[in-house]
Chains A and B, each alone.
Chain A
Amino acid sequence: MIPPFEIFYDVHREEVLRYLNSRLGGQRAEDAFQETFLRALRAYDRLEHAEHLRAWILTIASRIAIDDVRRSRPTDELAEDAIWHEDARPAFEELAPLTDGLPPKERAAVVLRYGYGLGYDEIGGALETSEAAARQAASAGVRRLRKEHA
């Protein structure tokens, strides 16, 4: 059973706010916090199971943060000093704006994997797809970024 929204909100709100604070800070983080949970509330009664709720709410938060960042600064300003090595995991701060150009599923997979360290099973759940497809989306996203920022 899907937990009552109150419980869901209580469990995840601190982490969501910390995450948004690290991405946006201050008043913008607070606005994004409210928007994140309102958006979750809107979709909440259509959830089919209670797995991956953490990945789901962090995905919503990351999309809102990305949109906010995109609105507030030019896209290519941050691309310059990003470095893409095979095993380099860029700080999320650099990563999120860079991924703006990716198809939505790849972007979400890349951000959740490298920015937030979620497992592919969790990402799969958040994106309503399989673990293998999540892995594939993340690596396709990284390949595309390498090409764009080479």
Chain B
Amino acid sequence: MTTVSPELDERFRTAAAASGLLDAAFDVLSDTPVGRLLVGVTDHGVCRIHFDPDPERELESLARQFGPRVLRAAKPVERVKSQLDEYFAGKRRGFEIDWDVRGLPTYNQRVLSKLAQVEYGSTTTYGALAALTGNPRAARAVGTVMNRNPIPIVLPCHRVVGANGKLTGYAGGLDRKELLLRLEGAIL
């Protein structure tokens, strides 16, 4: 009886990542203050952060978007992982990583690039973000873009709140939104 040992498995995954053949690599961070996170990266940067991942579904979504060669590999995800660790420990205020939103509609890309400029510890509103992207009346559309943000935390949609100051919604659940804002000192 032979089984693939963890060493052999790791060896293959490392070689596969080093070969440059992967369309996307991912890893699951099992122990963060916001629970399990699936993190996906491509050659262009981080492309996915998912709360409470159902890996099989997430992998299929990555495969549809980037190509079928999707494999778990620690190495390509290392940089994102360590920056997330620092962020959760309160030791990092901004992420120095590229992100990959190539597959998204241009409007979403535009909104997300404005979102990326909302600073640590501050909040903005859907309407204000809509105004920054050229149409102050598009608050609802901005809300939809936030809801479909493929890279939460790194692209800080948790910093966008309702005009009345209420947290309103979060794809990862309001508890997480509150936790992240508390961590950043944006709310008490």
Contacts and interface: CB of A to CB of B under 8 A. Distances in A.
B68 A33 contact: no
Contact of B68 (A3, A34, A37): A3
Contact of B15 (A14, A38, A44): A38
Nearest to A30: B8
Q: Categorize the interface residue count of chain B.
A: 20 to 34
A33 B4 contact: yes
Nearest to B59: A4
A13 B4 contact: yes
Q: Categorize the interface residue count of chain A.
A: 20 to 34
A6 B4 contact: no
B4 A41 contact: no
B67 A45 contact: yes
Contacts of A6: 26, 59, 70-72
Interface in B38-79: 56, 59-60, 62-64, 67-72
A18 B23 contact: no
A90 B9 CA distance: 32
A85 interface: no
A34 B11 CA distance: 8
Interface in A1-28: 1-7, 9, 13-14, 17-18, 21
B59 A17 contact: no
A18 B71 CA distance: 22
17 contacts: A3-B60, A4-B59, A4-B71, A7-B56, A9-B71, A14-B3, A17-B3, A17-B8, A18-B2, A30-B8, A30-B11, A33-B4, A33-B8, A38-B15, A42-B21, A45-B23, A45-B67
Interface of A: 1-7, 9, 13-14, 17-18, 21, 30, 33-34, 37-38, 41-42, 44-45, 47
Given A4-B71, A6-B59, 7 more contacts: A7-B59, A18-B2, A34-B11, A34-B12, A38-B12, A41-B21, A41-B69
